[in-house]
Amino acid sequence: MEERTYRRSRIAVFIAGAALVAAACSSGTASPSPAASTGGAASAAPTTAGSGGASVAPSSGGGDLTGQSVTVIGTWGGDEEKAFKSMVAPWEASTGAKVNYTGTRDLNTVLTTGVASGVLPDLAGLPGPGQMTQWADSLVDLSGVLDVPTYTSETAPALVELGKVSGKQVGVFIKTAVKGLIWFDPKTLADAATAAPTTWDALKTYITANKAKAQAGWCLGVESGAASGWPGTDWIEDIVLRQAGPDVYQQWYQGKVKWTDPAIKTAWSTFGDVVANSFGGSATVNATNFANAGDPLFKTPPGCLFLHQASFITGLGAFKTAKAGTDYNFFQMPDINAQYTGAVEGAGDLFGMFHDTPAAKSLMAYLVTAPAQDIWVKIGGALSANKNATDYPDDISKRSAAILTNAKIFAFDASDLMPTAMNDAFWKGIVAYIKDPSQLDSILANLDTVQTSAYATP
């Protein structure tokens, strides 16, 4: 009985095994999606054309790349992802190649493991200039891909510099944002649009004068999951830039100025005044998500007079359904110290290339052009890095873009330029400070400790 069972089982196993192998062999080649079977045979080759021949002269999307594809990874999802897909659609149409985009919030994890193991996308959104430096060895030098003189002339010099590591251009900005805009509701403050305060003291006077119109002077919300605290860092950076000047600002994010330095400490105290005059008090500030922080602007009675936030707030919270110009408007953050007038803080989305396949090179060259960036810009919620992309949908975004292009002193977001350990401590420091401002000295001392180890070369 046992013998027969064994024989039957053996036959069954052979048949099953044969079916498995047959399926593996047949499905392996047909479709571009490598669906491997457990038969053991490695799946069909990955779709990206990895056979890197000699690097070709940069083409801007006119060549024929039918059947090829480019893998792109970035943090964009939802509407952003749709905007990016619209941006690359013309390129896909003209070259016949395809863009495979994956969005993820875990960009750091994916790229860190990727760099360590060699499994990388062709193009990737980079989390920031700091990480870009860490991965510089794996990134492709873009001077063989872009027309460098054109790129340099079309982009703000600061942004071009930030994309370089040891002189090598490895990162380019596709999209930018300007920070430190003071948003208000024109229905509450009719004269703010025309008679915007130009100094910090004038702003404070203005707030006191209009106290009765809202419950508090400022709206503020710093909650943001693991990154809670970053709107506060934007505040401190704007203050340092205007109060202590661009030189101190630069040395500060380079780790050469201590956090306990009087200049930095004063900036925090100034921020503390803002928190004290914020809608709902410190508990609300720490508990409110940054996207909804500005909602009280539009309530009746208004919860606050002003919100300090970047240009991308127009796509979030109550701003999304409100009408630009009539429901909300902005003016630039005023100067604090007359010496440092005209300083602007901005940020942007950095892109890099890991594999220099022909299709990837073509796509990268396309992404930095004005027509490409115009597509996203027209959809709204983004500012272009290319000076010639000016197809803005409304007056608000036009003015935001103008601020960036005409900036006398352009400073990139300081926390994005700090080592990530420092950046993270900065965020947490803000949250702790808002909760208990009396702890300022110990918070700053702790930041100094982190600074010593974060900036040390490994």
Residue 9 sits in the site that holds other proteins (CB under 8 A): yes
Given the structure tokens 């492709």, which residue do they identify?
140
Residue 351 sits in the site that holds other proteins (CB under 8 A): no
Would you say 120 and 46 are in contact if contact means Cβ atoms under 8 Å apart? no
Our separate counts of H helices and E strands in the chain read 18, 13
Q: Which of 55, 63, 81, 150 binds other proteins (CB under 8 A)?
A: 81
Residue 55 sits in the site that holds other proteins (CB under 8 A): no
Q: Which of 52, 62, 157, 281 binds other proteins (CB under 8 A)?
A: 281
Closest CA to 123 of 312, 288, 366: 366
Region 221-260 residues binding other proteins, contact defined as CB under 8 A: 224-229
Residue 24 sits in the site that holds other proteins (CB under 8 A): yes
Q: How far is the CB of 167 from other proteins (least distance, A)?
A: 22
Beta bridge partners of 72: 101, 123
Residue 448 sits in the site that holds other proteins (CB under 8 A): no
Burial of 402 (0-12, 13-18, 19+ CB in 10 A): middle
Residue 109 sits in the site that holds other proteins (CB under 8 A): yes
Beta bridge partners of 197: none
Beta strands in 150-261 (DSSP E): 164-165, 168-169, 171-178, 181-184, 216-219
Q: How far is the CB of 88 from other proteins (least distance, A)?
A: 14
Residue 179 in tokens: 């920070």
334/411 Cα distance (integer angstroms): 15
- Amino acid identity of residue 11, one-letter, is I
By CB under 8 A, the count of residues binding other proteins is: 98
Range in contact with other proteins (rule: CB under 8 A) among 17-25, 164-172, 182-190, 331-339: 17-25
Q: How far is the CB of 224 from other proteins (least distance, A)?
A: 8
Nearer to other proteins, 104 or 260 (CB): 104
Q: Which of 54, 57, 116, 338 binds other proteins (CB under 8 A)?
A: 116
Would you say 293 and 220 are in contact if contact means Cβ atoms under 8 Å apart? yes
Closest CA to 196 of 211, 184, 188: 184
Q: Which of 60, 61, 65, 73 binds other proteins (CB under 8 A)?
A: 73
Residue 437 sits in the site that holds other proteins (CB under 8 A): no
Range in contact with other proteins (rule: CB under 8 A) among 160-168, 198-206, 243-251, 427-435: 427-435
Binding to other proteins by CB under 8 A, coded x per residue (else -) over 404-423, reads ---------------xxx--
**In a 3-state reduction of DSSP, which class is residue 56?**
coil
Residue 76 sits in the site that holds other proteins (CB under 8 A): yes
